[in-house]
Structure 1
Amino acid sequence: MKTFNIGEARDNLSQIVDMVLAGEKVVIGKRNHPLVKLIPLIEEQPIKKRVGGQLRGQIHIADDFDDLSEDILEAFEGKHP
């Protein structure tokens, strides 16, 4: 793990970013006290695009799924204690 003070990091930012992207662990500190660790935001493997409809025909939703019973509706309206 390579440690840089803030001034060194500011002067060598491009090289430090290259180091982190190459897999090296880098810490930035102040007065030789570690403050932050740099990590790459680029994923090693690209995120796969999600495709819908994988369970089509395997799930059933009742026709009255969105209907509220009277007691639940009254509870939301504050009519039940």
Structure 2
Amino acid sequence: MKKINIHEAKTHLSRLVDEAAKGKPFIIAKAGKPMVKVVAINEAAPKKVKRLNAMPGVFTIPDDFDTRHQEEIEKMFYGEDE
């Protein structure tokens, strides 16, 4: 990937933006240290993962979901009450 210093990026910004928009991303560096990556905004965004309610009507979450088997779990952690 092309790395460009800030001064050159300021001088040639229009051309660089056009290139990035065409799918040629680049990195802007300051004193040789990479600072930002310039990419086209029409690139595919990360796919959202829908976790709950992905299949309505197929699965249901019980009302006691957060307390189910609570007594058994507490016994495993704290031991039997005497």
Using the size of structure 1 for normalisation, the TM-score is: 0.49
Using the size of structure 2 for normalisation, the TM-score is: 0.48
